[in-house]
Amino acid sequence: MDTLANARALQPSLRTRADEIERARRLPADIAGEFARAGLFRMAVPHSIGGLELPPGEIMDSIEAVAQADASAGWCVMIGATSGMSAAYLEPSVAREIYSDPLVITGGSNTPTGRATAEGDGYRLNGRWPWVSGGANCRWLKGISVVMEGDKPRLLPSGAPDARMMVFPAEQATLIDTWQVAGLNGSGSGDMEVNDIHVREGCTYSLVGGHARESGPLYRFPAFGLLALGIGAVALGNARAAIDDLIELAGAKKPQGSRRTLAERGAAQADLARAEAILRSARAFFREAIDDAWNKAQQGEAIAVEERAALRLAATHATRSSAEVVRMMYELGGGTVLYSSHPLQRRFRDAFAATQHMMIAPPSWELAGRVLMGLPTDASML
């Protein structure tokens, strides 16, 4: 299945529904269904249970293409697609139970705000998690939870708390509409809560200290790196569309007091050229980092901390460079783009909402910098 071609085929309809997605503050169910039929939520699901198990570069290209039409839609694809990695970590019979349906959508939160206690063949779980993007369209949800022993966290041999991903049917969770925001409105990234539910051991796994049960190269590729790259892919697609929006605007707009269109003004031409160079440069580093790590994964080699840090650095740089590009296009657009009816208004807000994600937040610069300095670094989140 050619997910990139499918994503591109969906772009025209997504563009026409972008305002609807924004007003709804969630991805409409019929669009989510179209994404599922296009294979976009199965890109990281293993071949062994009917998934596509695509190379990371192909996954990112497809996310980027959706985001070029609408960043919120791209964000939901990013979350649903990377969530499919769970199938490689879950107990195989559970993975088949969840992912054997080619139209299933899964999602959840990577914030460790749940609390679980051992009980029988699994855990008793309570918790509330933020940032559950696309949760309204999911059949299964998940949230990272600290396993408790009495009133204290159970510790791993490393001394870190045992924080496990808990996966459960969506009907066992309550979705709470907290998503009143300025950007990525259509991602529906509100809270979810569960109260006193039982989660089987096979429905849990650990990304920190745990290992994928699948042996394909995609599952040797850093899972946290893949998530960070997904954010970068959304940002790159959004920035490309912002440049396209500005070019379309510039051909017709005459700034106040001028007889020339914006496109004919030298300053605008120079700013557009700089933005194009920034975006292409960021995307080139983005793809270089992916290709370097992917080559190692395909050869069965361990991906060194330097390559892992490069993935996070490339994702952070892509996201923040994309925001700068969108800012430049927004300023060039002048008063026209202040109106919510203009797509550059939404692109601007979406760009800076993406920069707030913890995977590409300012500490990621420090993390990569420690590795570049050759200093001892906790690589558990790389």
Q: What is the pLDDT of residue 380?
A: 78
The tokens describing 49, both together, are: 């249970």
Kindly state the tokens that stand for 226: 């893949």
| Token pair for 278 | 């920034």
CATH superfamily of 3-88: Acyl-CoA dehydrogenase/oxidase, N-terminal domain (1.10.540.10)
Domain with CATH 2.40.110.10 in the chain: 106-205
pTM: 0.96
User: Which segments of 70-119 does DSSP mark as H helices, in order?
Assistant: 71-83, 92-99
Q: What are phi and psi of 368, to 5 degrees?
A: -65, -35
Residue in the structure block whose two tokens are 């066992």: 172
Q: Are strands 152-153 and 122-129 parallel, antiparallel or unpaired?
A: unpaired
∠ Cα 147 153 156 (to 5°)? 80
Q: Report the candidate in 184, 323, 325 with the shortest Cα–Cα distance to residue 243.
A: 325
Taking residues 43-61, report their average pLDDT. 98
For residue 197, the cross-strand partners are 125
CA triplet 61, 67, 70: central angle to 5 degrees?
A: 155
Average pLDDT over residues 177-195: 97
Confidence of residue 253 (pLDDT cuts 50, 70, 90): low
Six-digit token string for 214: 């699948």
Domain 106-205, CATH: 2.40.110.10
**Pick from 191-195, 242-246, 254-258: least confident:** 254-258
d(C-alpha 42, C-alpha 80), whole Å: 8
Mean pLDDT value across residues 322-344: 95
Nearest to 312 by CA among 281, 294, 286: 286
Structure tokens at 221: 């590729």
pLDDT score recorded for residue 258: 64
Q: What is the mean pLDDT of the chain?
A: 95
Give me the architecture of the 220-372 domain, per CATH: Up-down Bundle (1.20)
Task: Tell me the C-alpha distance between 271 and 277, whole Å.
Answer: 10
Q: Collapse the DSSP code of 152 into the 3-class scheme (helix H, G, I; strand E, B; otherwise coil) and give the result.
A: strand
User: How far is C-alpha 338 from the chain's CA centre?
Assistant: 27
Q: Which of 219, 31, 61 is nearest to 136 (CA)?
A: 31
| pLDDT at residue 377 in the model | 87
369, 380, 373: which is closest to 222 by C-alpha? 380
Where exactly does CATH 1.20.140.10 map onto the chain? Answer: 220-372
